[in-house]
């Protein structure tokens, strides 16, 4: 099981010294060898719901290299819960790095085209799934639902015990992690922190509504949160060779691995923002490392990364 409290590391870089900021990393990537980072936090209460209500199984959604699919398959295996993954992509991806593990842990992978996958939020489509798979609990893409919020909010509770900080930064894919952090900070603190989300996909402005919808049922207010949508490096899972080289250098400088799809885009945004003078002198910044290092296996498999520069995750047994 994941550790109850992820550690906090101080990190150093010439730009931090130049701009007189203090930077720490909340190491959620170390919480568990497989269900790392925000995936564990978002699934924590979803899994409790699954066990409490005695569902016959669970269904979720993701791409063919999805961190969520990978973590969800393992979590369901450990909890002895049958699971189905609705996968965007063709069946030829079934043996790729990520899905080979998901299938190894017992996930049934059902492949759909992009047009069908876009229906994953539609009430009619979800009702069809419920009729096809009665007594199955449906968890949205990325695990971002109301049950994810309290799990992620616990990051704030932990940080308040570990350090004093001004700004918390996280990568953002589906919006659940940012919503959870906002929720936790709204409840925990009279003097709220600045919370920044770095969107990792293009045209992510729609996530503002997704985040607000996750927060609305709680009736919470938080004035100082922002979704930064200009640091996606070309779109989801896209990055340039120059981006990869900057990230490799940063990883070597700090001794922490940040992959280029999620946490790495947060790092590159941080470096860009520093150069733009975004942060005040002596600002105390915490970066949330949301894990996702299994994704390196798929990027190396697709030749998007050179394996000599990155740790290679183990492959699923044949």
Coil vs helix vs strand at 5: coil
Confidence at 3, pLDDT banded by 50, 70, 90: low
| pLDDT value of position 190 | 67
Q: Is residue 274 part of a domain?
A: yes
Q: Indicate if 218 and 298 belong to the same structural domain.
A: yes
Residue 191 has pLDDT above 80, yes or no: no
| pLDDT value of position 54 | 79
Mean of per-residue pLDDT scores for the chain: 94
Query: In this structure, what is the dihedral angle of CA atoms 258, 100, 71, 75, given to the nearest 10 degrees?
Result: -150
* CATH number of 82's domain: 3.40.50.1100
Residue 4 has pLDDT above 80, yes or no: no
Q: Is residue 317 part of a domain?
A: no
Q: Indicate if 22 and 65 belong to the same structural domain.
A: no
Distance of CA 230 to the CA centre of its chain: 18
Residue 223 has pLDDT above 90, yes or no: no
Q: Indicate if 163 and 274 belong to the same structural domain.
A: yes
pTM for the model = 0.95
Q: Indicate if 48 and 96 belong to the same structural domain.
A: yes
The pLDDT tens digits for 7-55 are 999 999 999 999 999 999 999 999 998 998 899 999 999 999 998 887 9
Total structural domains in the chain? 2
Contact 173, 262 (CB under 8 A): yes
Q: Is the dihedral of CA 117, 107, 139, 314 positive or negative?
A: negative
Per-residue pLDDT averaged across 211-231, rounded?
A: 88
Q: Indicate if 240 and 302 belong to the same structural domain.
A: yes
| pLDDT value of position 2 | 58
**164 C-beta neighbours (distance < 10 Å), count:** 10
| pLDDT value of position 160 | 94
Domain around 107: 38-143
| pLDDT value of position 318 | 80
Per-residue pLDDT averaged across 291-299, rounded?
A: 96
Contact 233, 268 (CB under 8 A): yes
- In the numeric block, which tokens belong to residue 117? 């996958």
């Amino acid at each position: 099981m994941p550790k109850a409290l992820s550690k906090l590391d101080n990190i150093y870089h010439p730009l931090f010294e130049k701009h007189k900021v203090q930077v720490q990393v909340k190491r959620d990537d170390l919480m568990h060898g497989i269900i790392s980072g925000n995936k564990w936090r978002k699934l924590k209460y979803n899994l409790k719901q699954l066990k409490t209500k005695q569902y016959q199984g669970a269904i979720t959604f993701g791409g063919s290299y999805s961190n969520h699919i990978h973590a969800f398959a393992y979590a369901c295996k450990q909890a002895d819960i049958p699971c189905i993954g609705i996968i965007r992509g063709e069946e030829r991806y079934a043996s790729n790095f990520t899905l080979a593990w998901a299938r190894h842990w017992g996930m049934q992978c059902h492949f759909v085209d992009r047009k069908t996958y876009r229906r994953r939020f539609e009430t009619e489509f979800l009702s069809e799934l419920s009729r096809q798979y009665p007594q199955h609990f449906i968890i949205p893409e990325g695990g971002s639902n109301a049950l994810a919020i309290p799990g992620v909010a616990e990051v704030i509770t932990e940080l308040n015990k570990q350090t004093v900080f001004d700004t918390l930064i996280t990568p953002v894919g589906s919006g659940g992690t940012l919503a959870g952090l906002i929720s936790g900070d709204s409840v925990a603190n009279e003097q709220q922190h600045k919370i920044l989300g770095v969107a990792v996909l293009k045209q992510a402005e729609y996530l503002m509504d997704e985040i607000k919808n996750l927060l609305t049922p709680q009736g919470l207010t938080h004035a100082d949160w922002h979704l930064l949508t200009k640091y996606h490096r070309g779109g989801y899972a896209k990055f340039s060779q120059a981006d990869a080289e900057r990230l490799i250098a940063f990883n070597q400088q700090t001794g922490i691995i940040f992959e280029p799809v999620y946490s790495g885009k947060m790092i590159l945004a941080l470096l860009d923002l520093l150069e733009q003078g975004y942060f005040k002198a002596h600002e105390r910044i915490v970066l949330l490392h949301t894990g996702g290092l299994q994704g390196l296996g798929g990027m190396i498999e697709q030749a998007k990364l050179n394996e000599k520069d990155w740790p290679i995750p183990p492959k699923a047994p044949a």
